[in-house]
């Protein structure tokens, strides 16, 4: 069945991997990227970008209109957030991180839901919990809680460990991560991208919230035809 995707964070490292995987998927009818500034797009007619001021008060309302227009086409529509700061997060204050990871992502997700999108995919990080004493892990947990509270029919939360193949991950860290088994080890960026697409393709998945760590993402990536 054909489907469409409304994505924020599609110009980042993981987001770009998701977009590449979507372009390679024949059943994906349209990819709409919400960007803060115009970027050079892949030469693919199914991909378009919409430039929005994510800090503006009207941002969620603009996302609602986008979502409604896509839903009106009749195909299933999935919302996706691949927003992430990358290696620069240490230079950001806690309030700046919250404004992006909770404010912008939350506003986008609420706009998707209000616009009729019932299925959403969220990039987070392994071990995320709002109760953590570690700032990044705590904020990721708060982001998860914010999106969960919106009430999507189906919410897939991707929690990768060390992301290999990512420009923000030093090579020696990725190498060490491959020696670490399980959820805190390394996972290839392209496997994450393909796992997102596998989630979109499996539109008959059960309702509720599902968490995907390294092993589940690799399994879904391999299963994607």
Lowest mean pLDDT among 87-91, 148-152, 196-200: 87-91
Residues 121, 4: Cα–Cα separation, whole Å: 13
Average pLDDT of the chain is 89
The pLDDT value recorded for residue 184 is 75
**Inter-CA distances, 148 with 31, 107, 145, 195, 210, Å:** 23, 13, 5, 20, 11
Q: Report yes or no: 141 and 101 within 8 Å, Cβ to Cβ.
A: no
Residues 99, 18: Cα–Cα separation, whole Å: 23
In which domain, by residue range, is 124 found? 3-223
The pLDDT of residue 35 is above 60? yes
pLDDT, average across residues 143-155: 96
For the record, the structure tokens of 171 come out as 């090579």
Contacts of 198 (CB under 8 A, 6+ apart): 220, 221, 223, 224
* Closest C-alpha to 139, from 89, 208, 196: 89
What does pTM read for this prediction? 0.90
* Plot region of 14 (φ>0 → left; ψ -120 to 50 → alpha; else → beta): alpha
* Closest C-alpha to 7, from 74, 52, 56, 55: 52
pLDDT, average across residues 143-172: 84
How many domains does the structure of the chain reveal?
1
Task: List 6's β-bridge partners, or say none.
Answer: 32, 79
Helix (H, G, I), strand (E, B) or coil at 91: helix
Position 185 confidence tier, pLDDT thresholds 50, 70, 90: confident
Q: Report yes or no: 83 and 121 within 8 Å, Cβ to Cβ.
A: no
Position 28 confidence tier, pLDDT thresholds 50, 70, 90: very high
Q: Rounding to the nearest 10 degrees, give the CA dihedral for residues 11, 225, 188, 217.
A: 100
> Is residue 57 classed exposed, middle or buried when 0-12, 13-18 and 19+ CB atoms within 10 A define those classes?
exposed
Residues 70, 2: Cα–Cα separation, whole Å: 13
Residues 201, 24: Cα–Cα separation, whole Å: 12
CATH number of domain containing 134: 3.40.50.720
Q: CA 123, 125, 130, 133 torsion: positive or negative? A: negative
pLDDT, average across residues 155-177: 72
Tell me the backbone φ, ψ of residue 221, rounded to 5 degrees. -60, -45
Task: List 188's β-bridge partners, or say none.
Answer: 164
């Amino acid at each position: 069945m054909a489907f469409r995707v409304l994505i924020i964070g599609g110009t980042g490292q993981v987001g770009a991997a998701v977009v590449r995987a979507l372009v390679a998927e024949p059943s994906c009818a349209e990819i709409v990227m919400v960007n803060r500034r115009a970027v050079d797009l892949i030469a693919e007619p199914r991909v378009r970008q919409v430039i929005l001021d994510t800090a503006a008060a009207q941002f969620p309302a603009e996302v609602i209109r986008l979502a409604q227009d896509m839903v009106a086409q009749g195909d299933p529509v999935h919302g996706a957030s691949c927003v992430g700061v990358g290696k620069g997060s240490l230079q950001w204050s806690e309030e700046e991180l919250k404004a992006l990871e909770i404010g912008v992502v939350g506003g986008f997700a609420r706009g998707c839901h209000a616009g009729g999108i019932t299925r959403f995919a969220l990039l987070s990080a392994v071990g995320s919990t709002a109760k953590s004493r570690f700032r990044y892990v705590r904020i990721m947990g708060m982001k998860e809680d914010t999106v969960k509270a919106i009430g999507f029919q189906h919410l897939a939360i991707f929690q990768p460990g060390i992301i290999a193949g990512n420009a923000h991950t030093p090579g020696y860290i990725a190498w060490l991560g491959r020696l670490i088994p399980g959820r805190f080890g390394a996972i290839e960026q392209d496997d994450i991208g393909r796992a997102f697409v596998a989630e979109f393709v499996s539109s008959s998945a059960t309702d509720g919230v599902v968490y995907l760590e390294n092993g589940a993402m690799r399994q879904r990536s391999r299963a994607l035809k």
